[in-house]
């Protein structure tokens, strides 16, 4: 399992860094406000992500079951903790985050730092964390269905099938909970075109349902449908040993994430204690010049990155077998 991702994990993990940098460049207030409130959670994610490269590099440096088993657990933590915390974070965002913004645009989070962290671990947020973790387990199982064979593939199919069913059930339950148990947010004033990036210039109502967005923009229903259908098709493909399960699970992940973004639009970080301080895609954005530079850089370099990444996967195409790992002294 480790050797299926060994040659490509470093490149994949760089996307986390790119994503963090893009958020900082495109929405500086979002970066500032979210990191102020999710500081301990982000630190836990960072610590877990640090374990991953260390685990990959050190696991096979020494013989011995205890040594390798310890690094296997480190790799487990390095993968599971970010997957869970990212889902928990999304669950909290949907409920509204308890922050305030002063007149000089300083974010404030009332209460002790440990209380803020424990407050993130509420039932709905944990349910969102289950969706995230099980959904990514399904994706990993889809990858192993494509890249492995025999006992490893069979185990991946068994685990992925259960994870997929859990993901579907948890996602549907979260949707029902969001519709009937969690009030939504709505702008009650116009956002000034070409105005300053100041969330305090708009007024927000914390009432109604998030799912009212589907009445205003019915076409966005394609996102949750894609999420559920993608997970169901991934399970069916896996059970047939078909590597297309990876494609279906990828579409499911896209659908689930898109359903959150489209449901919340235009909000990206609502406030539960000062609704007027809620951040939207407009009043938390960078200047037009910054966004234009980001667009130009993305148009030029993202295709290049995708091209050489695709080439790497083409070179490494095929299944990883036990025999290859046994014969290769440089295996992970």
pLDDT digits (tens, 9 = 90+) for 59-95: 888 888 899 999 999 999 999 999 999 999 999 999 9
10 Å Cβ neighbour count for 84? 20
pLDDT digits (tens, 9 = 90+) for 303-319: 998 898 889 888 888 88
Q: Is the pLDDT of residue 113 over 70?
A: no
Q: Which residues pair with 279 in a beta bridge?
A: 269
C-alpha torsion angle, residues 136, 142, 144, 145 (rounded to 10): 160
Instruction: Check if the beta carbon of residue 325 is closer than 8 Å to that of residue 3.
Output: yes
- Prediction pTM value: 0.89
Q: How far apart are CA 313 and CA 299, in angstroms?
A: 22
pLDDT digits (tens, 9 = 90+) for 177-191: 999 989 999 888 777
Q: Is 311 left (phi over 0), alpha (psi -120 to 50) or beta?
A: alpha
Count the helix, strand and coil residues of the chain and give each as a percent rounded to the nearest 5.
70, 5, 25
pLDDT value at position 330? 65
> How large is the average pLDDT for residues 8-13?
83
pLDDT digits (tens, 9 = 90+) for 245-282: 999 999 999 999 999 999 999 899 999 888 888 888 88
pLDDT value at position 112? 66
Q: Is the pLDDT of residue 99 over 80?
A: yes
Better-scored residue on pLDDT, 321 or 168? 168
> How large is the average pLDDT for residues 34-54?
87
Residue ranges with strand state E in 148-282: 186-187, 204-205, 267-269, 279-280
10 Å Cβ neighbour count for 73? 12
């Amino acid at each position: 399992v480790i050797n299926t991702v060994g040659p490509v994990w470093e490149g994949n993990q760089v996307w986390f860094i790119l994503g963090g940098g893009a958020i900082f460049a495109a929405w500086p207030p979002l970066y500032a406000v979210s990191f102020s409130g999710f500081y301990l959670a982000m630190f836990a994610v960072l610590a877990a992500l640090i374990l991953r490269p260390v685990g990959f590099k050190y696991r096979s440096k020494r013989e011995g079951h205890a040594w390798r088993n310890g690094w296997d657990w480190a790799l487990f933590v390095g993968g599971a903790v970010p997957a869970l915390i990212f889902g928990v974070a999304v669950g909290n965002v949907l409920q509204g985050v308890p922050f305030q913004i002063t007149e000089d645009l300083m974010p404030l989070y009332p209460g002790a730092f440990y209380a803020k962290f424990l407050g993130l671990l509420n039932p709905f947020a944990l349910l969102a964390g289950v969706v995230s973790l099980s959904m990514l387990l399904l994706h990993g199982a889809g990858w192993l269905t494509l890249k492995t064979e025999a006992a490893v593939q069979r185990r991946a199919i068994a685990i992925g099938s259960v994870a997929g069913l859990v993901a579907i059930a948890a996602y549907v339950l979260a949707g029902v909970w969001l519709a009937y148990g969690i009030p939504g947010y709505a702008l009650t004033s116009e956002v000034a075109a070409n105005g300053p990036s100041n969330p305090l210039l708009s007024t927000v109502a914390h009432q109604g349902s998030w799912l009212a967005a589907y009445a205003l923009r019915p076409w966005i229903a394609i996102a949750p449908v894609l999420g559920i259908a993608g997970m169901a098709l991934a399970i069916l493909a896996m059970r047939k040993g078909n590597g297309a399960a990876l494609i279906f699970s990828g579409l499911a992940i896209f659908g689930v994430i898109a359903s959150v973004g489209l449901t919340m639009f235009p909000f990206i970080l609502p406030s539960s204690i000062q609704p007027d301080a809620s951040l939207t895609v407009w009043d938390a954005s960078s200047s037009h010049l910054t966004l234009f530079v980001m667009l130009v850089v993305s148009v030029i370099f993202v295709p290049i990155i995708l091209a050489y990444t695709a080439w790497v996967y083409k070179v490494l195409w095929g299944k990883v077998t036990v025999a290859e790992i046994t014969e290769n002294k440089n295996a992970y």
